[in-house]
Each structure stands twice: as C-alpha cells, then as structure tokens.
Amino acid sequence: MRDRLILLPGWGLGVSPLEPLAAALRGLDEHLRVEIEPLPMLASSSLPDWLDELDATVPENVWLGGWSLGGMLASELAARRGDRCCGLVTLASNPNFVCRDDWPSAMPVATFDAFLTSFRDAPNTLLKRFCLLCSQGAADARGLAGLLLAGAPKAQRDVLVAGLELLGSLDTRAALQAFNGPQLHLFAGLDALVPESVATQVLALLPDVEVGLIEQASHAFLLEAPHELAAAIQAFLHELGDD
C-alpha cells in the first residue's frame, strides 16, 4: 500500500508531536493515508519484544516512519519485513543515540547513563528536562517544551525506563544496510540530542539513500516545521511513485 504511511513516535512524549506533520502530509496529498501508531507499552528493553509487538499491530506493505526512537524502531521493523515494507522515513533519528567508538556523533555514554539514573529517581523532573532538550535551538524553546510536556501521556515509570534502556542500546546500522527499500532520513541543524553531523555519517554509511537537513530547527522540528518536513516527505514519495 504505497499510499499508506505509518509513523511511530519518540520516547516518552506520545503521539501528539507527530500530529501536525500528519495533518500537513494529508493536506498535501488527499490520497495518502497517514496514521500514527503509539509505541508498545512494554516493561522490557529487549528489541525482539518491541519488534514482535509492532509487527503484530502495524499493517504490512506500508511505508514505515518515525521520530527519534520511533525512527530507530521503524528501521529495525523495515529490515525485519524486507520486501513487505514499501520504504522508510526517519526524523531526527540517530542510528546510535549513544556514542560508540565507531559512531562518535551521538550522546556521550556518561551523559545518557546519568539521565537514566536520574530518571529512575525523579521521572517527572527529568521528563521536563527532556522536553527542554528536545526544544533547545528553537526560536521559542520554552514554549515548545511546554507543548511537548502538555501532550505527553501518563505512562508507568517501568515502561519509560525500559524505553530509555532500549534507546541506549539500539544500533540500527545493520538494519539500515540490510533494508533494500527506499529510505529518507531527515535531520535538524540545531538538534541538541542528535548532532547535525549524523546526517553526514548516515550518508557515508548509506550512499544510495536520501538524506536531508532542516537547518534552523530543533529536535522537536515536528512542531517547528511540519509543513517543511511534509513537503520533503511528499516530494520523496511522489518521486518514487513516478519511477
């Protein structure tokens, strides 16, 4: 179903941040069915558990996309499905959210570990801090952070901790290389969580895919620039539809 795009949200903030983008995409193409699928509510940080849950709920033969952690999971699900996935779109999604020796453009390990430890002790405080990090670089960072926090669903701490642990352990490079379908990866130039340099690294890893950069935007560019993102995605889908 090349006219259907399923979007997965990022960690902790629910489906609300994706809604402006979904609306903008529908406005550009009335034939494109855009749906947002919530992340699994699992207390497990095992990737196979998350993929099994998504595989059972997300339709096959559709475009898969996602923001941040959602983009990482969409990448893994696309690789698992292979020809049963039309293509992949990721948004501010680092193949490694946390630094590795061979992937330096990511969050330092010590910073991530400190955040995870602090979140276990004071989840509400750390979720507010996370929203501020998401919006850092935006013209109205505090206003944007407030929108993110207001739309965040109430989730059990164990579920959020499991999601964080998964985010810290995921390395989607092999999945991205294994998936032979079309790929579009969009990044934000002022992102405080996923460095701008990731765009260059992804292109080096995957020279045959499309990579784009929204220069004056934060990690929460879904809310800052939904129409710009929608135009880039729609152009990508339209180009492939003409092939």
Q: Are 79 and 64 in contact (CB under 8 A)?
A: no
Question: Which positions are catalytic?
Answer: 68, 191, 219
Tokens representing residue 169 in the block: 């352990």
SS (H, E, C) 132-151: HHHHCCCCCHHHHHHHHHHH
Please, where are the H alpha helices in 4-122? 19-28, 47-57, 69-81, 109-121
Q: Side chain identity at 141, as an amino acid letter?
A: A
- Identify the H or E element spanning 5: strand 4-8
Length of the chain equals 243
Nearest to 123 by CA among 95, 84, 149: 149
56 touches 49 (CB < 8 A): no
